Structure 1
Amino acid sequence: MLEQCERKKRRILTPFFSPDQISICEQILGKQVYYKIDGGYDGAERCRIAILPYEEDADMKITCLKATYSSQFATLSHRDLLGALLNLGLERETLGDLLVKDNAIYIFVDSEIENYIVCNLTKIKRCSVHFQPYYEKIEYTQNIIYKNLIVSSLRLDVLVSALVNVSRKKAQDFIRAGYVKVNHIVLDESSYLCNNNSVISIRGHGRFHFKEVIKRTKKDHLVIETGKYQ
């Protein structure tokens, strides 16, 4: 994509990338190339990158679609929304962040597929939905429920075991299988030592925030504050 931009002297727009992919792209692009990163709202995780031949404002071709639903029929989650979109035959890279907040759904999508979604995504689980373009500013704060845990160390397998209440061997199996990410990067070393303020994702179990070590116990164990993203 960078070579195309330089050769043809025109803007190149990427699909939506995950945070770890964006980090790789920033390393490749460096400081000598003009580019813009945007996910449709402040704080977005999944974003598109516009690679630019010269400094300019770039249309990122991102549309926010909004729908409301009645929670008396079902409680919708990010997983429900993503499943419904993928069942339409859409590729994940055409979709940005998916937000569920106060009986409302916000999805950030490639503008080329907005009409397809509006026409075809009319039901999620038992909830009828009708999506429309939404142009107001989105302010979204991720809901995280925190609690304290006691662990013997900050090894990745120890933290995974404590976070999802499985044996340490099972946690090691998760890590070896590539089911665990730390700060959006897949790690396969059980002995990896996690730092404060790390985000740990465990496939099938959700995403967690290891905030900090609070104190040591008399038995030299660690009391840590962790939260689960809702």
Structure 2
Amino acid sequence: MTQDNIYAHFHPDEHRFVDQAAEWVARAEQHEVKRTDFLDPRQAFILTSLVNRSADVQVRFEGGHPNAERKRAIVAPDYRVLDDEEMGIRLIEVSSTDDSLGDLDHGDYMGAILGLGIKRDKVGDIYVLPTGCHFLAAAEIADYIVLHLNQVHRVHVHTGTLPLDKLQATETKLDEMNLTVASLRLDGIVSDVYRLSRAKVLVPIKAGRCKVNWKQEEDPSKPLKQGDVVSLKGFGRFKVLEVEGLTKKGRYRIRIGKYA
């Protein structure tokens, strides 16, 4: 399959990552081993697709927890045993004696981490706890985070590392809402979830600032289905938890979960 044919399967904005992943696979065919940064589920899908095209290459994913969303990968020749490979993941704990710690959310912790100048792809999943948070980070920047992460949204915190088996992987908190919509179109549901006019929703969607299941989606009419995860840059993300059926007036009853 030519490179042009590979591109046909992916959004133009994904082509840079496709090139990168294709290079990892090509080098693995030449007996090299590549450990990636943390990948989102869409990137993991692209990498898996390219690995599956080669009979001589394998890939292993690890995110610190079986249900991790973001994972590092090792791309290697098929003869290499990957079970014992060092994945380069460290568990970092953030804690504090400040009572206001319990008011912090995922975005607060993410903002504080990225505020240190760390790239998003060096950070895995973040699990918010009543006593602070646990999050996964690339081993190569773990010491830097421990040294410099001492405040999260005006709350002074203590930061340290723990063994991976001490991870408290909390379930993602979703704020549920019930909607009745005329159709399952992307623009209509996004409009209702974020209480924006249809016209205001069309602008970011067509500008490429909306993703469905981590894939950029620019078609406002795309129908959503149960299980889809939608993100709109600047507004957050939500999941279609259930399509419950039709009302007597022919509108769809759906249950949405907004990520806190």
1:20 maps to: 42
Contact 1:71 1:103 in 2 (8 A): no
1:51 partnered with 2:110: no
1:223 partnered with 2:253: yes
Query: Which amino acid is the alignment partner of residue 47 of structure 1?
Result: K
1:92 maps to: 120
Contact 1:64 1:109 in 2 (8 A): yes
Question: Could you say what the CA RMSD is over the residues aligned between the two structures, in angstroms?
Answer: 1.6
1:118 maps to: 146
Unmatched 5+ residue regions in structure 2?
Answer: 1-23
- Offset, 1:224: 0.9
2-structure distance, mates of 1:20, 1:175: 18
| Segment drifting more, 152-161 vs 70-79 | 70-79
Query: Which amino acid is the alignment partner of residue 179 of structure 1?
Result: R
Using structure 2 for the length normalisation, give the TM-score: 0.83
- Offset, 1:137: 4.0
2-structure distance, mates of 1:71, 1:144: 25
Unmatched 5+ residue regions in structure 1?
Answer: none
Could you tell me which of 169, 172, 176 is aligned with 1:139?
169
Could you tell me which of 182, 191, 209 is aligned with 2:212?
182
Q: Deviations over 1:105-137 (max 9, x none)?
A: 112111111111111111112211121111214
* Distance change (3 Å), C-alpha of 1:71 and 1:191: farther
1:173 partnered with 2:173: no
Contact 1:34 1:55 in 2 (8 A): no
- Offset, 1:4: 2.3
Contact 2:96 2:131 in 1 (8 A): yes
| Segment drifting more, 59-68 vs 82-91 | 82-91
Query: Which amino acid is the alignment partner of residue 73 of structure 2?
Result: I
1-structure distance, mates of 2:228, 2:172: 15
Query: Which amino acid is the alignment partner of residue 36 of structure 1?
Result: R
Using structure 1 for the length normalisation, give the TM-score: 0.93
* Distance change (3 Å), C-alpha of 1:6 and 1:214: same
1:61 partnered with 2:61: no
Query: Which amino acid is the alignment partner of residue 73 of structure 1?
Result: S
2-structure distance, mates of 1:116, 1:17: 21
Could you tell me which of 58, 63, 77 is aligned with 1:39?
63
Query: Which amino acid is the alignment partner of residue 48 of structure 2?
Result: E
- Counting helix residues as a fraction of each chain, which structure ranks higher? 2
- Runs of 4+ off more than 6 Å: none
2:14 maps to: none
- Three-state SS of the structure 2 residue aligned to 1:131 is strand
2-structure distance, mates of 1:70, 1:203: 33
